[in-house]
Structure 1
Amino acid sequence: MADLPADTRPDRSRDARFAWIAAGATLATILIANFAPASGPAPLPRPAAVSPAEDPGCREWTDSCRVCTRGADGVHCSTPGFACQREALRCTGR
């Protein structure tokens, strides 16, 4: 097969310009997404939560695995089960 004459070959310069523009737009989007500051107000600091174990008013608390009670002779906790999945501590008795 012989090469086509220069005047009948398709012009690919438009495709090449489009490819460069698309690559530049993609790069600009990635850079803006990574380096732009986050919008919105700054989160408020959370107050320090007091654990039920540190709260003298809480007499019984649990983490869904074990139950702890505060008595006159100290704190006593049950033994957790074999397949226990702990949750956040919560006071169950005052």
Structure 2
Amino acid sequence: MAELRPDRSRDAAFAWIAAAATLATILVAHVAPARGPAPQPIALSPAEDPGCREWTDSCRVCTRDADGVHCSTPGFACQREALRCSAR
């Protein structure tokens, strides 16, 4: 069996050290708590906003009352837009 030259074993040791350091860095990055600004609350869509009584997407109108949510039927050639609250 051939013996390894001393410089090859040293190179292998450095490769293992580099791999271990890389793995440790990745693990610490995933385990350490995030240090940034506090997350901002996600804006609610009008359908999820309890203060919005009526909303539309320019195709149908939805209303919220004591019985729940009721939406109209969209027209034949409707082109939807972003939801927006039309009555609070």
TM-score range, shorter chain: 0.5 to 0.7
Aligned: 1:89 with 2:84: yes
Residues in 2 aligned to 1:67 and 1:88: alpha-carbon distance in whole angstroms = 10
Partner residue, 1:29: 25
Q: Gapped runs of 5+ residues in structure 2?
A: 64-69
TM-score by length of 1: 0.50
Going by fraction, where is helix more abundant, 1 or 2?
Answer: 2
Q: Gapped runs of 5+ residues in structure 1?
A: 54-60, 70-75
Structure whose CA Rg is larger: 1
Partner residue, 1:11: 7
Amino acid at match of 2:56: T
TM-score by length of 2: 0.53
Aligned length in residues: 74
Residues in 1 aligned to 2:42 and 2:71: alpha-carbon distance in whole angstroms = 29
* Mapped contact 1:51–1:89 kept (Cα < 8 A): no
Q: Report % sequence identity.
A: 64
